[in-house]
Amino acid sequence: MLTKHEEIEKFILNGVIKGNYKPDEKVPSENQLAESFSVSRMTARKALDTLVTKGYLYKIKGKGTYVKDRENRDIIYLDEMIGFTKRVRRTGKVPRTDVKAFELIKPSEDIAARLGITTKDDVYYIERIRNIDNEPVILEVTYMPAYISPDLTIDHVQKSKYDYLRAKGHRIEEMVKEYIPVIPESKVREDLSLDKNMTVFKIELISILEDRSIFEYTKLYYNQNKYRFLQITKNTGKSF
């Protein structure tokens, strides 16, 4: 026998599957569901939050809960080395970068170890929010050794740090990435305008130059309502 919040989940999910609720269409509110199913608002909220967590719905603060379009999301190719600006422009959309922090700091032991430097070395600490068509989709937190980019300015990171790198005659040889689905901290939720129950896709990456020095350690938090992640693996003849 289903519990009340499971009944509500099933009702809404059936509506989504049958097309009664279209992508980006608002579903009944907590109050409406509470009245229809003779339950408390807390029970109705639990049902909606569960469907948000499962990826069927999303919330907009102050507006309501909507059906997530599980197909109409930009694709991130996990094995591709390409910057945000270039990737967005090739889809015909408009990128924008908001720089929230740009500071010269001394790194913690953990950050210094990741960058292959000491805690006495200077590091750029950079926070950027990446927007597509004026909507925040990625929070990016970057640490860069200052000795590689001694004349880096906020204007450079407002545009593309990789364009700056190329202009200096450097090239990224390799990126090491780790993929982690996480429940974001309140700051990340606020920056990306996320509901408190939503997970984000977190990527931690280290970019390595041709001389094996480390250019950056970056943490990226992706709004999963806006992205799908795809990896294409080619057979090198040594497997399968």
- C-alpha 215/C-alpha 205 separation (Å) is 11
Report the candidate in 204, 200, 179 with the shortest Cα–Cα distance to residue 55.
Answer: 200
Query: What proportion of the chain, given as a percentage, has pLDDT over 70?
Result: 85
Give the predicted TM-score (pTM) of the model: 0.65
Please give the domain boundaries of the chain with CATH numbers for all domains.
4-67 (1.10.10.10), 74-230 (3.40.1410.10)
Pairing, β 64-67 against β 74-77: unpaired
More confident call, 22 vs 195: 22
Return the ∠ at Cα 138 (arms to 176 and 214), rounded to 5°: 30
Q: What is the pLDDT of residue 40?
A: 93
- C-alpha 147/C-alpha 224 separation (Å) is 35
- C-alpha 183/C-alpha 164 separation (Å) is 33
| Weakest mean pLDDT among 24-33, 53-62, 144-153, 182-191 | 53-62
Mean pLDDT of the chain: 84
* 155 band by pLDDT with thresholds 50, 70 and 90: very high
Condensed to tens digits (0 to 9), the pLDDT of residues 9-39 reads 989 988 887 888 888 889 999 999 999 999 9
